[in-house]
Chains A and B, each alone.
Chain A
C-alpha cells in the first residue's frame, strides 16, 4: 500500500493478505469457527461487490474491516432476535411484592471453605470456560468481549449496535448465570 496518494484495491491478494487477520478479528467476537469463516467469506464478496464505492481514503485492510464490522452487527442482530429460544433462566422475581429479590430456589449457596481456594487452578478455569460456552450465544459474545478481551464498553456498543444499559443487563445475566453454573457443576454436588 502506498503511503502517499490514494489507496488501491487488489482483490486477488485479499485472501493471502487478510484472511487470517479478518478471521482473528471475527473469532474474538463470534467465537464460532464456522460462523467466523462464513463472515470472512461474505466480507470478501461484499468487498468485491462494492469495489466501485471505494474512495481510496483508507487502506484496503481498514476498508475490509469496516465491511466485516457491519457483517458482525448483522449477525448479532440475527441471533439477538431469536427470542425465547435461548433465554436465560431468571434468578430474581420479576413482579409482585418480592420484585427484584432472589428467587428462593436461586439463592446463592456457600462454595465451601477457604481451604478450597487452593482449587483455583486450571481445572476450575476450565469449568468456567465450559460454563461460558453454555451461555446463550448473544450473552457469551458480549461477556467475552468485555471480560476476556478487555474491549471498552463504548467499543462493544459500537461494534454490536447495543446501548450501554443493554450491555450491563447482558453482563449481569451472564454473570448470574455463570455463578449458578459453577455452583451446580463444581462446588455443590
Chain B
C-alpha cells in the first residue's frame, strides 16, 4: 500500500531533493501532507528554500584559479627528476 506517513528525517530528505528538482510528484505530495502535522519541517523547508536562494546569488563561485609559478616550478623539478631516472 502507498504510505503517506513519513518521518521528519524522510521529509527533510525529500525537501533537500526538491531543491534540485529531483523529488517525484508522490514525494512532494507526501511532503505537503507531512507539513500539515509538522510545523518544524514546514519551517525547515522554508529556510531551505531561502538557503538555496542565497547560494544561487551570493556565494562565490569557484573562480578560475591557477597554481603559482613557484608551485609549478616545484612540480617541474620533481617531474624532471623522474624523467631523468626513467
Contact = CB atoms under 8 A, between A and B. Distances in A.
Interface in B19-49: 19-20, 22, 40-41, 43-44, 47-48
A182 B67 CA distance: 32
A120 B43 contact: no
A99 B57 CA distance: 36
B66 A128 contact: no
Interface residues of A, number: 51
Contacts of B40: 102, 107-108
Nearest to B53: A120
Interface in A34-52: 37, 40-41, 44-45, 48
A71 interface: no
Majority secondary structure, A binding face: helix
Nearest to B19: A175
Interface residues of B, number: 43
Given A108-B44, A168-B13, A172-B13, A125 B72 contact: no
Contacts of A175: 12, 16, 19, 48, 51
A146 B52 CA distance: 12
A178 B50 CA distance: 12
A12 B50 CA distance: 50
Interface centre among B52, B54, B78 (most CB of A within 10 A): B54
